[in-house]
Structure 1
């Protein structure tokens, strides 16, 4: 029996006189849903059925905005029950038993089945969604099936072998690829769409747990969209108390079009006008201001949140990521404004040039206030999730200690920002022929939003594949920067034991040679981006 609908996507599949977008349109309207599900059975209705009825409400709202495609999050239909504030922990037998009761056969797309018109062969929740799709003036047939390849806390779940590469084409002329949650940071199937010239619009549906400093939802979504240079839709399960992340729509290297990170549990529809891309990944029209927005449902429209909505635990992600694995250097902007360093970790050397300004008068006026500190870090190894990583980064911290560089001050704290990062360049050498994908990761603390590529920062690679120079350059001063990193996912190291934490202080070298090379490349106009 097929695992129950982890990905739910509705898109136009047939012509309609009311349809706004068509094959010749330079854009289309897309939406992602930030949804907090009902997690416990209500009367005689199954959890999946109650959530499907909420989906129907959301679909109707999306249709009122002439939306062409809408994406729902992972695990939001057949959800995980709660155990107090946390999600219930299952062993393998319990997990399979729980989902067996909610599972439904899902027809193959080539069968052309319209579930809305069928008998009781399929779960009622599927039928509700299929019928609701007619709000989009389509018939409600299954157009694609996706199987999750890289699991997290899903004991007893089968993984399809070989993994399914899922795509579908719409009648408004766009082919979409899609995958689920943690697949985004693994080699397969996500990298298939990085190299695939025929798929330039990609969907990920998630139940993500933020893990600072490098695996927070908003930075990962924007970074993957930049690396693949695709229109990217990310729909996330809303659960602030459990460290749930945010949702957004991204325009490849140009960065976020619209994002939603509410800092508390809610239900929202994120809508944007998305320019189509040509064969060179150039937009057919420019992004238009005012054509994207977030609609937050009230509790009468989508009644899934009881009592006061849960607030985000700012330090929950600090329990996930161990920066003691890195080699690091603390910035001291109150002592000097120029910081030029080379930091090496297990054979990887990262060159940093940071220019800062520091307002001592702000500190003098609020001597008891808190302020963020910054570390420069390098990592060449395997993290505690057994992921291979190559990282050169600047990260913010709530103290001088590296262990606090995955944390944030809570909203009740009196926080000042006397420091501004006025100039920042990170460079490193990389062998692009190895089993690795490089992402430019950025995150602002304010709004929890990634920077915009091209206007806020530049990320480039130059030189031969076996010795490329990777360069990441901050283009505008920032006082709320949380993360700025060249993040490499080293896939061939996955599954190895985590690297040993350092108990020594690295030798940090002053280095100008790489920065001179950056200046030469800029003057010569010889930037290029080498894609593996």
Structure 2
């Protein structure tokens, strides 16, 4: 009997190990060979199956400022191959290679995958400037299969926005490559989390590990962080894909000149109220009910925003985007979205829901908060192309919305959409927003004045 119990226990452990794998990423600000090798050896000691290394930070550097490392590309590859073989794990690295063509130097960025024997089993290349002028041509998004029975999609970070990666129909992805571009309400870490949540897949990146609807399960500032992932990406637990403002490297800043924005009426929202905001062919329906609204000198206001058009992304791309969102802003919500240090609002949302008639069938929930607490309830459901996002019992909410990609508009030029927003309409929109803002503030003052008069009588 004891033998049978022990046998079953060992069988259960073996079965669990077959259903999961251990992923890791190296968190460091260096992103160079000197930090790569120690991270690989550290991951090997932690029994990591696949490790994604940090990416070189090229956004603030000129193309050839990293010439010392880039000139030694072959040496870097050999060193990393030897390290992955010694540590006995798969390694995903984003490297820069300098090539000479047309009498000038250009940079090519490559995602390389090394197996446990140090062999390169997958390569994904792109020119740094996204323009293929060199003899070294770009390659397509690919995949590779590991010896632990998992097939991975191999991505660079901008692919999450630029391509319909879901067409690969995989449940596991690795992603490397610096993402310097931000679009409205999005940063790299925000969108990676939302992308994994929406598609319910595992995503191992150089900035975190995201396990589908379970959310972010690993993040760190230094060293190697690991997590055990289900190979099928199936998890019983689900949590809202929220990001804390303190974890973002940059404060979100966005030009909202093409957005239609209405100020949130905080006085009316105490009793619950609805508002519809439309832009182009997209109409966003908002329902907001707030609880206690405290008083602070640095009171934060909220805007209800809708956008349907073309956005500039990643320096050389124009993408179709549709957005419905509630966002906080310091003072009057005008043409620039910049929260700055405002990460503690004086509003408690008892219920908030957003619904929009999006063109595409896939949207991404974007939730940015200044609080560590989870919402009391979170739901997202789709009925044909009508998508609804609902949240309840939330404090310090900074952004709550839906971001949809309209791939049919990707070829359009990035210009002001004069058909849907004329100069007259833009001026009228700004005047309406201003008077709405003033009227809401006057209503609050009138309420307090009425209470004061009644108490004096």
State TM-score, norm by structure 1: 0.62
Deviation at 1:60, TM superposition (A): 1.8
> Is 1:460 aligned to residue 370 of structure 2?
no
Determine the structure 2 residue equivalent to 1:346. Answer: 280
Determine the structure 1 residue equivalent to 2:427. Answer: 503
User: Structure 1 pair 372/258, CA: closer, same or farther in 2 (3 Å)?
Assistant: farther
Match 2:410 to one of 479, 485, 494: 494
Match 1:254 to one of 211, 214, 218: 214
Determine the structure 2 residue equivalent to 1:359. Answer: 293
Match 2:124 to one of 122, 146, 155: 146
Q: Which has the higher strand share?
A: 2
Q: Is the 1:214–1:220 contact (alpha carbons within 8 Å) kept by the matching residues of 2?
A: no
The structure number with the bigger radius of gyration is: 2
Please report the RMSD computed on the Cα atoms of aligned residues, expressed in angstroms. 3.4
Q: Secondary structure at the match of 1:408?
A: coil
Determine the structure 2 residue equivalent to 1:484. Answer: 400
Deviation at 1:231, TM superposition (A): 0.5
Deviation at 1:73, TM superposition (A): 3.1
> Is 1:224 aligned to residue 195 of structure 2?
yes
Match 1:88 to one of 61, 69, 94: 61
Aligned mates of 1:144, 1:215 — CA distance in 2: 29
- Post-superposition CA distance 1:464-498 (Å, at most 9, x none): xxxx2211111x32112222222111122124223
Match 1:186 to one of 146, 152, 162: 162
User: Structure 1 pair 37/313, CA: closer, same or farther in 2 (3 Å)?
Assistant: closer
Aligned mates of 2:190, 2:21 — CA distance in 1: 25
Deviation at 1:224, TM superposition (A): 1.1
Deviation at 1:445, TM superposition (A): 2.9
> Is 1:442 aligned to residue 367 of structure 2?
yes
Q: Is the 2:269–2:289 contact (alpha carbons within 8 Å) kept by the matching residues of 1?
A: no
Determine the structure 1 residue equivalent to 2:337. Answer: 405
Determine the structure 2 residue equivalent to 1:292. Answer: none
User: Structure 1 pair 136/101, CA: closer, same or farther in 2 (3 Å)?
Assistant: closer
Deviation at 1:390, TM superposition (A): 0.8
Aligned mates of 2:338, 2:328 — CA distance in 1: 8
In the alignment, structure 2 segments of 5+ residues that lack a partner are 1-12, 90-115, 239-246, 434-457
Match 1:128 to one of 79, 82, 85: 79
Q: Secondary structure at the match of 1:214?
A: coil
Q: Is the 1:383–1:499 contact (alpha carbons within 8 Å) kept by the matching residues of 2?
A: no
Q: Secondary structure at the match of 1:181?
A: coil
Determine the structure 2 residue equivalent to 1:393. Answer: 325
- Post-superposition CA distance 1:130-173 (Å, at most 9, x none): 11112126321112111248x6x567775986742321111211
Deviation at 1:426, TM superposition (A): 1.0
Determine the structure 1 residue equivalent to 2:171. Answer: 200
Deviation at 1:378, TM superposition (A): 0.4
Aligned mates of 1:215, 1:222 — CA distance in 2: 11
Deviation at 1:103, TM superposition (A): 6.3
Deviation at 1:392, TM superposition (A): 0.9
User: Structure 1 pair 100/160, CA: closer, same or farther in 2 (3 Å)?
Assistant: same
Q: Secondary structure at the match of 1:405?
A: strand
Q: Which has the higher helix share?
A: 2
